[in-house]
Amino acid sequence: MKYAIVTFGCRVNQADSLVIEDGLRARGGESAAPQDADVVIVNTCSVTASADQGARQTIRRIARDNPGVRFVVTGCYATRRPDEVASLPNVVRVVANPRKEVLAQEVADDYHLTTAQRFGPGDGACGASLEPGVAGRTALTLCVQTGCDERCSYCIIPKTRGAGRSRPLSSVRADIRRAVDAGFKEIAITGVHLGSYGRDLGDGTTLEMLIGDLASWPDEVLFRISSLEPMDCSDAIVDLVETSPRLAPHFHLPLQHGADEVLEAMRRPYTAAFYRRLVERIRDRIPDAAIGSDVVVGFPGETAGHARQLVSLLNELPLTHLHVFPYSDRPGTESARLPDKVAGPDVRERARAVRAVGHELTRRFHQSQIGKARRALTVDDGSHVVTDNYLKVGIAPGTPRNEWVQVRIGGAPGALEASFSPARSL
């Protein structure tokens, strides 16, 4: 059986797809391009209306190119609108998020594949069948938590992912050990609400405990901490990132908006001033850290003045990159029922203005890194590296993927390149 996996959305979805891929490979499945596959697993996102649309368009396009293909669709869109997804061409199975862990087994049963030697519910994202380079992936994304108990007024994810659920620390450690033994040298730790890790376990486990474990991990591996809500990024976590060579100097801290009135309407539990203090403290202590953020523009009730506040704040913050999301109603959320919707042309213009700020923030960061030496991991075909502080930089070809190198950043901002040499131990 030939399979392909198409993934939309967040790093949690990427980690979920790795679990599915591990299960299919362990059961004898053969990876193929979507146009050549017998079955395509589509792991959907539903954070915006455009995410839903992207999944529909992809399914229809693959079905045109590969009329005999069968689709198994999972993820947040499939969970939120299963009937809508089931009506798309060639969809034979819709699997809600809570049943993702059995998806690989069900597909294997459909095609009478052999039972895996090592795989099952509760196993993590890396088994004996995955290694660096499989499906083009050099680093591993490991999900340690899913679900969310927060109630941001615009977000559908608590309904599509359910309540917060953490994996036991012992299980996470075991998965990391398997990943390192399989050859992975970089592991991204992710969750839907990563900052809540451990709260549901009832044994005193916290995210700080997990990150402390990572900071002292004995093998030569780099851990990249995925998105953290601002209120969850404690001084202790910043301390660990500052002092441990095992932790990448890379933060992703969603701001969402720069006007306190809008943050309150979004039900975000912090102020713009709190966020400013947080990122300035990180920049002061870890000068070369990457600090990314998410921003929503056009939230109901957002005025032109609010939009100017957002742009002004972003121009002053020491951020390195932005993800900009034009607001769209998600049926079933509180914000979908709010009045004073922002007109579409205004939303698009405000998004354009914020993206321009994001491009400038990235340019400034790139400029600040020219001439500096960074540790980096070779990716793709070995002609690029990703530095510990999240710069993707071109290098001369000839080094295999998944090798540590020491690079010195050069080139023009926006077209970075580097000279390199073998890296010293972490």
- Give the pLDDT band of residue 423 (cuts 50, 70, 90): low
pLDDT tens digits along 48-65: 889 999 999 999 999 999
Spans of all domains in the chain: 1-123, 126-248, 251-369, 371-422
pLDDT one-digit tens code per residue, 289-309: 999 999 999 999 999 999 999
* 1-123 matches 126-248 in fold: no
Confidence band (pLDDT; 50, 70, 90) for 412?
low
- 98-147 pLDDT tens trace: 999 899 999 999 988 865 544 333 444 444 467 887 767 899 999 999 99
* pLDDT value of position 121: 34
pLDDT value of residue 129: 63
Give residue-wise pLDDT tens across range 20-37.
998 999 899 999 999 999
d(CA 212, CA 229) in angstroms, rounded, equals: 18
Q: Is the pLDDT of residue 419 over 80?
A: no
The whole-model pTM stands at 0.90
Helices (H), 157-286: 157-161, 169-181, 207-215, 235-243, 260-266, 272-285
Can you give the pLDDT at residue 134?
73
Mean pLDDT, residues 414-423: 64
Tell me the angle at which helices 103-110 and 11-26 cross, rounded to the nearest 10 degrees.
Answer: 40
Q: What is the pLDDT of residue 380?
A: 86
Q: List pLDDT tens digits, range 144-163.
A: 999 999 999 999 999 999 99
- Higher-confidence residue of 410 and 185: namely 185
| Number of other CB atoms surrounding residue 426 within 10 Å | 15
Q: What is the pLDDT of residue 131?
A: 84
Q: What is the pLDDT of residues 343-387, one digit of tens each?
A: 999 999 999 999 999 999 999 999 999 999 999 999 988 889 999
State residue 253's pLDDT score. Answer: 98
Name the CATH topology of 126-248. Transcription Regulator spoIIAA (3.30.750)
CATH code: domain 251-369 is: 3.30.750.200
pLDDT, position 382: 84
Q: How many CB atoms lie within 10 A of CB 353?
A: 17
**What is the Cα–Cα distance from 106 to 20, expressed in whole angstroms?**
11
Per-residue pLDDT reduced to its tens digit, 197-211: 999 999 999 999 999
The verdict on domain 1-123 having CATH code 3.40.50.360 is: yes
> What is the layout of strands, in order, in the sheet containing 290-297?
250-252, 290-297, 321-326
pLDDT for res 125: 47
**Is 287 a residue whose pLDDT tops 60?**
yes
Answer whether 97's CB lies under 8 Å from 74's CB. yes
CATH number given to 371-422: 2.40.50
Q: Which of 406, 333, 398 is nearest to 153 (CA)?
A: 333
Strand order in the sheet with 70-75: 30-31, 2-7, 39-44, 70-75, 91-95
